[in-house]
Amino acid sequence: MTFESLMSPFDLSGLPVKNRVALAPMTRARAGESRLANEMMAEYYAQRAGVGLVITEATTVSAQANGWVGSPGIYTDEMGAAWKQVVDAVHGAPGGGAPIILQMWHTGRASHSAFHGGELPVSASAIKIEGDGVHTPEGKKEYEVPRALETDELAGVVADYATAAQRAKDAGFDGVEVHSANGYLLNQFLDSKTNQRTDNYGGSVQNRFRLLREVVEAVTEVFPSDRVGVRLSPNGVFNDMGAPDYRETFLYAASELNAYELGYLHVMDGLGFGFHEQGDPMTLADFREVFHAPIIGNCGYDAETADAAIASGAADMIAIGRPLIANPDYVERLRHGWPLAPLSDMSTWYSGEPNAEGYTDFANYEPSGAEA
């Protein structure tokens, strides 16, 4: 199969991409205790720069946003400067490199006081995650009841995203993605299951969308709107999410975001991996009706389903995750019909330490004489 649609070039809101494959943001946890982007991360992303678009792993916008061992941040000048080596490596990779987008993150209630010197994690409301627990610097812990953010604290949260965007711009990123998916802070405000507030940020869908709106408006003061994306997970139940009014919520959010002429909407429409279990799943077609800029689909796609989604017009690009872990040359393998390497031991994927195993130690395919 030639995957002509997936391999075709595209104009992503004025950003030229050489194919329709995006590297999905995956929290690979190689930044160590410093949370500084490092040389190994630069190597990892450059290895995968044969894709059309690189979206980085989720990157925290403040110390309060932290909630994952070994994940990178961009909330100090040193952190911002450290990302420049990654950007330069991706832009300068063999074959012309690729545009690179920084995904901005606040974990909210998915964090733990062990990340914050004993201070509770924050959320829209004081509602605990019902789940297996969270990995912390002190080992695995039970989730805690978070502290609901005060209304007068929210302007500071918005400012953290704007400052992070400016640091990303200074580091040379081509744009930023606002992570409002997978049960993290902005998703916690958007979802009626986790937002029981009685102020102007709770209650109606209009109010629950308010914090995401303010973040988007702040970030588009830093980057042009067509260099800003937003990620949503309409079918998601990861981190104990999912409310009965999810269809109303996400269609409203997408229709409102449409007015900002964003670079793209990144929709986790796929139902893979057990984290997308809403009863009547939303599809890319639902979002096409209300969002008119490019759409990136994500979650559980393989080359065949990705190519079909683009050929049908349902998506403009597809973000690929797990196959790109073991196949840094994923695009070249598809283009030439070379086999994909099997996925490695999942226990090596998210180490929390800057080590190469399961990260940068995957080889490109070496064709035989007949294949070359």
Task: Give per-residue pLDDT as tens, 316-339.
Answer: 999 999 999 999 999 999 999 999
Confirm whether 363 is domain-assigned: no
Domain range enclosing 325: 4-348
DSSP string, 264-295: EEEE----GGG----SS---HHHHHTT--S-E
Instruction: With beta carbons less than 8 A apart as the criterion, state whether 282 and 236 touch.
Output: no
Q: What is the per-residue pLDDT across 271-309, written as a single tens digit (0 to 9) for each?
A: 666 555 667 889 999 999 999 999 999 988 999 999 999
Calpha distance 313→309 (Å, rounded): 6
pTM of the model: 0.96
Q: What is the per-residue pLDDT across 117-162, written as a single tens digit (0 to 9) for each?
A: 999 999 999 999 999 999 999 999 999 999 999 999 999 999 999 9
Confirm whether 371 is domain-assigned: no
Q: Which of 44, 143, 184, 330 is catalytic?
A: 184
Confirm whether 220 is domain-assigned: yes
Instruction: With beta carbons less than 8 A apart as the criterion, state whether 195 and 202 touch.
Output: yes
**Residue 350 is a catalytic residue:** no
Cβ atoms within 10 Å, residue 67: 25
Structural domains of the chain, count = 1
Confirm whether 187 is domain-assigned: yes
Kindly report the CATH number assigned to the domain that includes residue 232: 3.20.20.70
